[in-house]
Amino acid sequence: MMADILSSDIKFLKGVGDARAALLEAELGISTFRDLVYSFPSRYVDRSKFYSIADLQGSELPALQIKGRFIKFYEDGEGERKRLIGVFTDGRLFMETVWFSKIKTIASIYKVNEEYVIFGRPSLYRGKYSIAHPEVERFDPTKPPCGLRGIYPLTEQLRKRGIGVRKFQELVGKLFELPGMDRVADPLPREIVERYGLMPFPEAVREMHLPSDQEKLAAAMRRMKFEELFYVELHILRFARSRGARTPGYVFPRIGDLFNGFYFRELPFELTGAQKRVLKEIRNDMRSGRQMNRLLQGDVGCGKTMVAFMSILMALDNGFQGAIMAPTEILAAQHYETISAWAGRLGIRVALLTGSTTAARRREIHADLLDGSLQILVGTHALIEENVRFRSLGLAVIDEQHRFGVAQRAKMWKKGVVPPHVLIMTATPIPRTLAMTVYGDLEVSVIDELPPGRKPVETFLRYDDNRMEVDRMIFSQLREGRQIYMVYPLIHENEKLSLKSLEEGRKRVEEVFSDWRICFVHGQMKPAEKDHQMELFVSGNAQIMVATTVIEVGVNVPNASVMVIENAERFGLSQLHQLRGRVGRGADKSYCVLMTHKNASGDTMKRLRIMTETNDGFLVSEADMKIRGPGDMEGTQQSGLAFNLKVASLARDGEILARARGAALEVLASNPGRLAPASRSEKTGGTLALSEESLVLTGYELARRFAHTVDWSEIS
Ligand code: ADP
Ligand code: MG
């Protein structure tokens, strides 16, 4: 291997030295040349031409430069709102530049009637353009225009201590002047670079920092995204494989009397095609000899509970027990009711175990689980307590997985010598690209079909001043005997405020709908009180439920036909979709009303409008991810996965991700031995395929570590 220039200490770069090296390390984690190479600009500006003020059009302008003179500076506003205005002209038209801080300094540095180049993003205010805090430079006719320039995300500390954008650019320039830089080793195998038509590494990193033009920059970007995603995928696949090979599972070869008896005689409805398909997938997993780890995604109301129950029957037919864990007591209770009704007809014993189960009852349950006379256990977190032991747990179903962390999953697995099969169910549909990555260690099944006869929930967007109209609609539904949900957002930063808005909402509802019984649920309530209030609604004794998002997951009240969501702009789209899923469960037409205020921003309205346009959870979820980025997606935060992607975006680069995954699969297939996990210690206990630590590495960090365990020259 040639001497690795990229591993050189950053202090040896010309213009750095000890003090700056310490600063770069502390602020940006840059300690080697390689770190600097991977510190890409966060955006680029086009300084290849001068704009004139007459060129400015529209409201979404990029940062740009204008040549001209200041004709005067003056201060405006008082106290907090004080600002400095510079009137700038390009010789033909005028515009304003504005500073909100450092007013004194700026007024003293810049002179009127001298030639400057100002640079910044013009924004439109009251029909006029202005630039806030522009970069200002003396115009220098001897300097050639510098084209595309990278802007780096630097910290306040760096700037204070002399490393601003320009200094940083200068350091990067010095780095790429070094003779070895166009010969550095490519972290991707040559074969992959060639086959996928990628820009070679030395050229790509140079273009990322010092782009020659838009086209080259785009190609460089593609290459770096590919590299990043390739390593993420390689990592995930590598661990997923070793888990697959490592973890034996119970073999359930039989479809027996319970399954068949239920299927042919007791099934209360015809299964949908999707339910049948998923049951087949689960059956194949459970007789394969490998432990099943399957994620079942399906929109609210698609019938996941039935799939869970019938999968448990497969375990029971083979002499094993089954468990279902739900995130809340109410949900666990609902599952218990549904499942014991079905199971009762087959003579199967089911029990419910939650935090409020009495000690005496617990002891019974514990004993019956151990001797095997209790076949199905339904419950909450209480299920994973140490003292809950099964004689032979064959299948554990976890409902609404985003409420459970990875750690709980692992606990479930520890319940036997051979881990039980695990089926995780979620109604938060995760777009394919994200699922492939986030749940790289899980197989994914999808129920993409609702039971027949479901009517989509009609969704409206209404402003506060349409409230009368909304009330009228509610009245007419109440008179027809329907029930209503009214949901208020939980304001995390300010729980007092959130309760206040909920209280006010309740007062109003009690006044307007005084003839009906109203129940009231919020997160700070004691569980017993909450359950009591929920029960009022579930049993139909209350017709209106005023609540915070505690009702989000899983409650099933088919008679409820209206969901009113207050301050809808405060919810994520996936969350709105979940809430909407509470209605439309019966035969009647249902409605969802999203309340927001008149002056909601354009983006907010765009987001909310998606809800009125589709009932498809996957479309909602994709749109949500595009808008918010996957970091915020429900289901990803708690899944324990936090890939800090530097250049790639799971939301936008699905295509590159798919190609990178393909390349990673090829590499694994062509050289499985070499790519086996480097050391056993990388694995966590249980059957979690990915170590917690490895999950927070970025693709590039993975690349760095991985480079030592693989010799690419041997692959081809
Ligand atoms: P989710 O997938 O949201 O958990 P559930 O399992 O609660 O959905 O099912 C929602 C409702 O649809 C339940 O009342 C259930 O009995 C009913 N259901 C499930 N599958 C079918 C089907 N194939 N045909 C008709 N109704 C069904
Ligand atoms: Mg459910």
Residue 95 in tokens: 């515009």
Residue of the CA atom closest to atom 20 of ligand 1? 303
Residue 531 in tokens: 């359950």
Ligand 1 site, residue 306, Cβ cutoff 6 A: yes
Task: Starting from the CA of residue 309, give the closest ligand.
Answer: 1
Residue 330 has what pLDDT?
75
12 in any annotated domain: no
pLDDT at 184 over 80: yes
159 in any annotated domain: no
Q: Which of 97, 129, 145 represents a domain boundary (last residue)?
A: 145
pLDDT at 286 over 90: yes
Residue 147 has what pLDDT?
78
pLDDT at 566 over 70: yes
Amino acid at 151: I
Query: Any residues with CB less than 8 A from the CB of 29 and at least 6 apart, and which?
Result: 35
- Residue recorded with tokens 């205010």: 125
* Same domain, residue pair 414 and 468: no
* Same domain, residue pair 566 and 670: no
Ligand 1 site, residue 302, Cβ cutoff 6 A: yes
Kindly report the CA angle at 39 between 37 and 42, in degrees rounded to 5?
135
* Same domain, residue pair 307 and 437: yes
Ligand 2 centre to CA of 411 (Å) is 22
Number of H helices, E strands in the chain: 24, 22
C-alpha torsion sign, points 16, 19, 23, 29: positive
Q: What is the DSSP string of 206-232?
A: HHHHS-SSHHHHHHHHHHHHHHHHHHH
* Same domain, residue pair 467 and 568: yes
Q: Which of 397, 428, 447 represents a domain boundary (last residue)?
A: 447
**Smallest Cα–Cα separation from 426: which of 408, 413, 450, 444?**
444
Q: Are 489 and 597 in contact (CB under 8 A)?
A: no
* Same domain, residue pair 598 and 488: yes
> Strands (DSSP E) along 356-417, which ranges?
376-379, 393-399
Report the alpha-carbon distance of residue 35 to residue 156 in Å, rounded.
20
60 in any annotated domain: yes
pLDDT in tens, 653-679: 778 888 998 898 888 887 655 444 433
CATH of the domain at 557: 3.40.50.300
Residue of the CA atom closest to atom 15 of ligand 1? 303
9 in any annotated domain: no
* Same domain, residue pair 397 and 525: no
Q: Are 376 and 324 in contact (CB under 8 A)?
A: yes
Residue 675 has what pLDDT?
46
SS3 570: helix
Pairing of strands 591-596, 560-565: parallel
* Same domain, residue pair 291 and 440: yes
552 in any annotated domain: yes
Which range of residues forms the domain containing residue 65?
Answer: 49-145
* Same domain, residue pair 395 and 478: no
Query: Any residues with CB less than 8 A from the CB of 74 and at least 6 apart, and which?
Result: 84, 85
20 in any annotated domain: no
* Number of domains observed in the structure of the chain: 4
Q: How far is CA 330 from the centre of its chain?
A: 26
pLDDT in tens, 344-391: 999 999 999 999 899 999 999 999 999 999 999 999 888 888 788 899
Residue 644 has what pLDDT?
58
* Same domain, residue pair 439 and 526: no
The residues whose Cβ lies within 5 A of ligand 2, an ion, are: 554
CATH of the domain at 84: 2.40.50.140
pLDDT at 549 over 90: no
Ligand 2 centre to CA of 556 (Å) is 8
200 in any annotated domain: no
Ligand 1 centre to CA of 322 (Å) is 20
* Same domain, residue pair 703 and 669: yes
Residue 193 has what pLDDT?
93
Atom of ligand 1 nearest to the CA of 453: 25
* Same domain, residue pair 235 and 264: no
206 in any annotated domain: no
pLDDT at 129 over 60: yes
Residue 513 has what pLDDT?
95
* Same domain, residue pair 265 and 402: yes
Q: Which of 562, 596, 614 represents a domain boundary (last residue)?
A: 614
Ligand 1 centre to CA of 303 (Å) is 3
- Tell me the best of 328, 445, 551, 556 to mutate to test the pocket of ligand 1, counting ligand atoms within 8 Å of each CB and taking the most: 556
Ligand 1 site, residue 305, Cβ cutoff 6 A: yes
pLDDT above 70 covers a percentage of the chain that reads 81
Report the alpha-carbon distance of residue 374 to residue 369 in Å, rounded.
5
Per-residue pLDDT, averaged over 264-290, amounts to: 94
pLDDT at 298 over 50: yes
